[in-house]
Copies of this chain bind each other. A is one copy, B any other.
Amino acid sequence: MVNVHEKQFLFDCGEGTQISLRKERVRMMRIDHIAISHLHGDHYFGLFGLLSTFNLLGRTRALNLYGPPLLQELISAQEAAGEMVRGYPLHFHATSTDAPAVLFEDATVRLESFPVRHRIPTTGFILREKPKEPGVKRAWVADWNLQPTEILSLKRGEDVLREDGTLIPFAEACHAPPPPRSYAFAADTRYWAKVADWVRGVDLLYHEATFLHAMKDRAEKTFHTTALQAGRMAKEANVGRLVIGHISARYEGPGLLLEEARSVFPDTVAAEDGLVLEVKSRC
């Protein structure tokens, strides 16, 4: 789950997700966007329960759902079978594996999808903050008695030239805004070099790392990635930080996989239940 300025985006929703959200004290009803990468059960079997819980809790606010086209049919079939009357609008946006696409956009964030290579149609997602307006320095507002129209001009990045010839230069009157941050979720995928083009430069990249590189052939065959390959992806895409996950249950813990990924890309952490990371700008 990603919280951007109190907008909450959920990426994938395996069985028991609502139980975990409750445990971590996430304000579930504030989740307005859920993006499902693909239709293997471990990535969406918790969705039906969550949609149903929203209903029980009296949700009326619209929910945006992004996922493979078939997902909408599965939801409709289940709601029909249960004769469920949903009390809130569900806006479904079908994802496509043809090319990257913008799924949602408002004044502060943009959600994108990009294709990956898994056994069935699968997309990754990128969540990007939009650039913020620069802030006008308080001292300048006071000293020059800046008027609202002048402040708006400065916020747009323009210098202000008054009728009396006074120049108020944008570069001096304004703070630079914090650089916009970005997060990419690369879902379940075989290592695919092209993904680097799409996630290039993101501040935080989640990439699966199911196997150690000794099992490269098995990774290839089952459309998964090795820890070494995940590290290479992070390096190639020049991201800020790498989180690996989806680690095979055959490994006792993430230790060896972390070591492998870090040998290529040092700033790597392993996903675990309840882990909270701040997405920091890499600039």
Residues of A at the B interface (CB closer than 8 Å) are 15-16, 18-19, 39-42, 45-46, 48-49, 52, 68, 70-71, 73-74, 77-78, 80-84, 119-120
> Is the CB–CB distance between A83 and B119 below 8 Å?
yes
On whether the beta carbons of A39 and B71 are closer than 8 Å, the reply is no
Residue pairs across A and B with Cβ atoms less than 8 A apart, 22 shown, are A15-B16, A15-B18, A15-B19, A15-B46, A16-B19, A39-B78, A40-B82, A41-B49, A41-B52, A41-B84, A45-B45, A45-B52, A70-B77, A70-B80, A71-B81, A73-B77, A74-B77, A74-B78, A74-B81, A81-B120, A82-B120, A83-B120
The complex places the Cα of A34 from the Cα of B42 at a distance, in Å, of: 21
Q: Does B78 contact A41, Cβ atoms closer than 8 Å? A: yes
- Copies of this chain present in the complex amount to 2
User: Taking chain A's interface residues, is the majority helix, strand, or loop, or is none over half, making it mixed?
Assistant: helix
Minimum distance in angstroms from A133 CB to a CB of chain B:
43
Contacts of A39 in B (CB 8 A): 78, 81-82
A38 to B14, CA, bound (A): 22
Which residues of B have CB within 8 Å of A71? 81
Q: List the B side residues contacting A119 at CB < 8 Å.
A: 83
Q: In the assembled complex, how far is the CB of residue A74 from the closest CB belonging to chain B, in whole angstroms?
A: 6
Among A42, A77, A82, A119, residue most surrounded by chain B Cβ atoms (within 10 Å): A82
Closest to A38 in B: B82
Residue of B nearest to A69 (CB): B81
Q: Are B81 and A15 neighbours in the complex by a CB distance under 8 Å?
A: no
The residues of B that contact A42 with a CB separation of less than 8 Å are 49, 52
Assess the A15–B49 pair: CB atoms within 8 A.
yes
Beyond A16-B16, A41-B52, A41-B82: 9 further Cβ-contacts under 8 Å? A15-B16, A15-B19, A39-B82, A40-B82, A41-B78, A45-B45, A70-B80, A74-B74, A83-B120
Q: Would A41 and B48 be within 8 Å (CB), given that A15-B16, A16-B16, A74-B81 are in contact?
A: yes
Docked CA distance A120–B188 (Å): 37
With the chains together, A77 CA to B48 CA distance in Å? 14
Query: For A41, what are the chain B residues with a Cβ–Cβ distance below 8 Å?
Result: 48-49, 52, 78, 82, 84
Nearest residue, chain B, Cβ from A49: B15
A52 CB contacts on chain B under 8 angstroms: 41-42, 45
Q: Considering the chains assembled together, what is the distance between the CA atoms of A236 and B16 in angstroms?
A: 39
Question: Which B residues lie within 8 Å of A84 (CB)?
Answer: 41
* CB of A259, distance to nearest CB on chain B (Å): 27
Q: How far is the CA of A213 from the CA of B82 in the complex (A)?
A: 26
- Alpha-carbon gap, A74 to B70, bound state (A): 12
- Which residue of chain B has its CB nearest to the CB of A119? B83
